[in-house]
Structure 1
Amino acid sequence: MASVYTYDGSKTLAHDLAKYIIAQQDNALQNGKRFNIAVSGGSLLKALNAGLIQDPELKSKVEWSHWHVYFCDERIVALEHEDSNYGAFKKQVLDPLLEEDGALGPTCYAINESLVGLSENDRIAAEYETLLPDHFDLILLGCGPDGHTCSLFPGETHEYLLEETQKRVAWCHSSPKPPSDRVTFTLPMLESAQALAFVAEGASKQPILERIIEGHDTSLPAGLVTENYQSAVSWFVDEAAVKGVSVKRETYSSH
């Protein structure tokens, strides 16, 4: 069964999420020299900033020089574009690290920007796949109000992504949210991860979390991931996101 950790606000959520990430980091570095992590965009990145960079108790425990950071989905736009997940990660994590005297940041892997706008979207996806490690120690995921995660969307238009069994990265076209062209991890990539953690905050997520956590709705990509890989899955949510949802109230610290 997937773990669900519930918090009264963003600050406590970010703190415990950071503790969870550091635990995954430490476990990975016991077994090797690198920590392979993939991240999504959106509000998740603000939580990483708050927990891993701003939190005085935890920031010294992050071994950034051993981090290898990938993006579990990316919009096919220039890296400095406002919709770029890499660009958002740079703003929330890389730039603040640069401001710290002597701080050594992580190694990041972005899409090939030189191919953007050349109708080479399949090639961008295939090339990004070649950069991926054999396994991920942790993949950090978001969940949209429609139940999408990565750029795996519900509905017939995007069934081809959920049915993909060979590619680890695929081109998502006709995204219901702009930009319409993206690359995304597929289910085989998520399945192979050591740990998967969703972050969802706010009342707008409540109806979808009710369907996923209480209703076990596998028609929603985030629900499908939660059900199929539940032993590896943790959810970090705030009270507003699970208001009225039948879930045991616990935190990662108390687990």
Structure 2
Amino acid sequence: MVPVYTHDDSAALSRDLALYILAQQDQALQRGDRFNIAVSGGSLLKALRAGLVDDAELRARANWARWHVFFCDERIVPLEHADSNYGAFKAQVLDPLLQHDGVLGPTCYAINESLVGLGENDRLAAEYESLLPAQFDLILLGCGPDGHTCSLFPGDTHSYLLDPHTERRVAWCHSSPKPPADRITFTLPTLASAHALCFVAEGASKQPVLQRILQSSPDISLPAALVTDRFAQRVSWFVDRSAVHDLSVPAATYHH
């Protein structure tokens, strides 16, 4: 069973998540000279800001100059577009960091904006793939109410994204059920390269899908369940109590 770290509220979750990330950072910097981390969008970014930017003590423990930040998936839109995951990360993490004197922010890897809108989506994905490190130290993942993670969606339309034999580490996701329709996403080989994978889920709206993911016989038709099951020894979940209400999931406390 993967650890499911359960918290009373968002503040407690954000702090423990930050401590977990810092532990992964420290291990990475013992292995080498950089911390290769990939992030998702959505509410995860608010947790990153609360735990690692707004908390002065933990902000000081982040060796930002050695962070190399990638995006688990990205919408194929301009970087300043409201749907851009890079844009959201900039608003929630990069810009607030600039307000603190002496903080040298992380190196970020965005999509090639000049290819957006040209119908070159496979090329855009391949170019982003060329930027990836051979291994990630940590990949931070979200989970949608439909069980998607990254832009790996359930169902026949997107089954090509879950091809276990693919050599592509980044793929073009077309016809996304959530707009915008065109995205790029990490594939299973990229997730397999990570030393650690961490899912973050908050809110009662996530409870039905977490029941299908975290039960003793997970529904691996859901990409988030497939990833959790396949890479269980490297997976952790950080959740709040409402997300696992009435689930028969052992609640764990993160010891840092």
TM-score range, shorter chain: over 0.9
Deviation, structure 1 residue 56: 2.8
Residue 32 of structure 1 corresponds to: 32
Equivalent residues, number: 254
Match status 1:203 vs 2:204: yes
Residue 169 of structure 1 corresponds to: 170
Match status 1:51 vs 2:51: yes
Residue 9 of structure 2 corresponds to: 9
Residue 109 of structure 1 corresponds to: 109
Which secondary structure does the structure 2 equivalent of 1:231 belong to? helix
Deviation, structure 1 residue 251: 1.6
Deviation, structure 1 residue 247: 1.1
Deviation, structure 1 residue 33: 0.6
- TM-score (norm. length: structure 2): 0.98
Residue 194 of structure 1 corresponds to: 195
- TM-score (norm. length: structure 1): 0.98
Q: Can you give the 5+ residue segments of structure 2 that lack an aligned partner in the other structure?
A: none
Deviation, structure 1 residue 216: 1.0
Residue 231 of structure 1 corresponds to: 233
**Aligned partners of 2:202 and 2:240 also within 8 Å:** yes
Q: What RMSD in Å do the two structures reach over aligned CA positions? A: 0.9
Residue 98 of structure 2 corresponds to: 98
Residue 71 of structure 2 corresponds to: 71
Give, as a single letter, the amino acid of the residue that structure 1 aligns with 2:193: S
Which secondary structure does the structure 2 equivalent of 1:217 belong to? coil
Give, as a single letter, the amino acid of the residue that structure 1 aligns with 2:179: P
Which secondary structure does the structure 2 equivalent of 1:24 belong to? helix
CA–CA distance in structure 2, aligned partners of residues 190 and 17 of structure 1: 19
Q: Can you give the 5+ residue segments of structure 1 that lack an aligned partner in the other structure?
A: none
Match status 1:122 vs 2:155: no
CA–CA distance in structure 2, aligned partners of residues 248 and 58 of structure 1: 28
Residue 180 of structure 2 corresponds to: 179
Which secondary structure does the structure 2 equivalent of 1:58 belong to? helix
Match status 1:245 vs 2:222: no
Deviation, structure 1 residue 192: 1.2
CA–CA distance in structure 2, aligned partners of residues 251 and 236 of structure 1: 10
CA–CA distance in structure 2, aligned partners of residues 249 and 55 of structure 1: 25
Which secondary structure does the structure 2 equivalent of 1:234 belong to? strand
Percent identity of paired positions between Structure 1 and Structure 2: 72
CA–CA distance in structure 1, aligned partners of residues 219 and 22 of structure 2: 31
Residue 219 of structure 1 corresponds to: 221
CA–CA distance in structure 2, aligned partners of residues 250 and 127 of structure 1: 40
**Aligned partners of 2:65 and 2:104 also within 8 Å:** yes
Which secondary structure does the structure 1 equivalent of 2:6 belong to? strand
Give, as a single letter, the amino acid of the residue that structure 2 aligns with 1:220: L
Runs of 4+ displaced beyond 6 Å? none
Deviation, structure 1 residue 253: 2.5
**Aligned partners of 2:36 and 2:69 also within 8 Å:** yes
Which secondary structure does the structure 2 equivalent of 1:211 belong to? helix
Deviation, structure 1 residue 55: 1.4
**Aligned partners of 2:148 and 2:223 also within 8 Å:** yes
Deviation, structure 1 residue 57: 2.8
Which secondary structure does the structure 2 equivalent of 1:132 belong to? coil
Which secondary structure does the structure 2 equivalent of 1:44 belong to? helix
CA–CA distance in structure 1, aligned partners of residues 228 and 211 of structure 2: 13
CA–CA distance in structure 2, aligned partners of residues 173 and 99 of structure 1: 38
Give, as a single letter, the amino acid of the residue that structure 2 aligns with 1:251: T
Give, as a single letter, the amino acid of the residue that structure 1 aligns with 2:109: Y
Deviation, structure 1 residue 101: 1.1
CA–CA distance in structure 1, aligned partners of residues 99 and 57 of structure 2: 19
